[in-house]
Amino acid sequence: MKLLLSVLLCISIVTLGKSDESKYHSTMQKNLEKLGAAKTISDYLELANSFERIAQAEKDKWLPYYYTSFSYVIAGMKDSVKEKKDSYLEKADKFISIADSLHPDESEIYTLKGMIAQGMLAVDPMNRYMKYGPLSGSNFTKASQIDSLNPRPDYLVGVSLLYTPEQFGGGAKTAKPYLEKSMEKFEKFVPKDDLMPNWGKEAVKQILSGIN
């Protein structure tokens, strides 16, 4: 009887674990669908809060923290108010640091760290370049070293160069090779699973279509 109870208890625990995992996966998928359709600052802030709730329930998983951070990054880049931009980007930095602590040496995490630094730089380029210029570059380099097939670091470097004046080493001609390399990688890129980051391809297409 004791053996039977032990077996039943083990089956119950395994079944409960699978159920919890299925719920997590389903909730994340729904949020990612909303993320793909998001347009406004409010949309991204709502998603940031939603992903944060998942993160609080799934403290050992790095992806909810990653997407909380990503949502704040986009909100920060969309907002036109300097103080709000900084606030959103600071929150993004907080959550990507948690993701990094849970899952070190992840290319996507370093990519987002570089994107956050880009955002901070864009708020006040003249006064922030010395700190955030090298920081974004080092994070993108690290991301590419970890996973040379990740198309997002090249995409973000290309975007940065595109909006850098030619006299400072930027411009469309300088940016184009990075964007083309990114697109080559996007054509072959396959996420490890359906919850992993898979953004950027359409943006690269659009940018390249506007570059002669």
Q: What is the pLDDT of residues 146-202, one digit of tens each?
A: 999 999 999 999 999 999 999 989 999 999 999 999 999 999 999 999 999 999 999
How far apart, in whole angstroms, are the C-alpha atoms of residue 201 and residue 127? 31
How far apart, in whole angstroms, are the C-alpha atoms of residue 27 and residue 37? 16
59 pLDDT higher than 70: yes
Q: Mean pLDDT over residues 115-132, rounded? A: 96
Position 26 scores a pLDDT of: 95
User: pTM for this one?
Assistant: 0.90
